[in-house]
Amino acid sequence: MRALTKGIMLLGASAILPVAAVAEDHSAPNGEKEANWSLVIHGGAGTISRDKITAEKDAEIRAKLTQALDAGEAILAEGGDAADAVIAAIMVLEDDPNFNAGKGAVLTWEETFSLDSSIMEGATRNAGSAAGVSATKNPILLARAVMDKSRHVLLSGAGADAFSQEQGLEQVEQDYFATPHRVKALEAFKLRMNAAAKGSAKAMGQDALGRDWRFGTVGAAALDESGNIAAGTSTGGMTGKRWGRIGDSPIIGAGTYADNRSCGISATGAGEYFIRVGVAQEFCTRVRIAAEVSESPPSAETVQKTADAVIAEMGALGGSGGIIYLTPWGQIGYAFDTPGMYRGMASSAQPKSVAIYGDE
Q: List residues with catalytic annotation.
A: 217
Distance in Å, CB of 339 to ligand ASP, minimum:
14
Nearer to ligand ASP, 269 or 339 (CB): 269
**Mask for 40-59, x = binds ligand ASP (CB under 6 A):** ----x---------------
Rule CB under 6 A: is residue 238 a binding residue for ligand ASP?
A: yes
Q: Could you say which residues in the range 266-325 bind ligand ASP, by CB under 6 A? A: 268-269, 271
DSSP state of 52: G
Which of 72, 128, 247, 339 is the binder for ligand ASP (CB under 6 A)? 247
Q: Could you say which residues in the range 256-275 bind ligand ASP, by CB under 6 A? A: 268-269, 271
Nearer to ligand ASP, 271 or 330 (CB): 271
Rule CB under 6 A: is residue 234 a binding residue for ligand ASP?
A: no
Distance in Å, CB of 244 to ligand ASP, minimum:
13
Nearer to ligand ASP, 73 or 116 (CB): 116
| Angle of CA points 305, 61, 281, to nearest 5° | 30
Q: Which stretch binds ligand ASP (CB under 6 A): 3-11, 107-115, 235-243, 351-359?
A: 235-243
Which of 98, 134, 217, 331 is the binder for ligand ASP (CB under 6 A)? 217
Cα distances (angstroms) measured from residue 131 to each of 35, 160, 164: 34, 8, 12
Burial class (CB in 10 A: 0-12, 13-18, 19+), 243: exposed
Q: Which stretch binds ligand ASP (CB under 6 A): 223-231, 247-255, 277-285, 324-332?
A: 247-255
The closest alpha carbon to 301, from 32, 42, 24, belongs to 24
Nearer to ligand ASP, 320 or 348 (CB): 320
Kindly give the pairing relationship between strand 127-133 and strand 154-156. parallel
Cα distance between residue 185 and residue 214, in whole Å: 9
The closest alpha carbon to 127, from 251, 299, 225, 237, belongs to 251
Secondary structure tally for the chain: helices H, strands E: 9, 16
Those residues whose C-beta lies under 8 Å from the C-beta of residue 105, and which sit 6 or more positions away, are 113, 115, 177, 182, 235, 236, 237
DSSP state of 250: T
Rule CB under 6 A: is residue 248 a binding residue for ligand ASP?
A: yes
Report the interface residues with ligand ASP, using CB under 6 A: 44, 214, 217, 235, 237-238, 247-249, 255, 268-269, 271
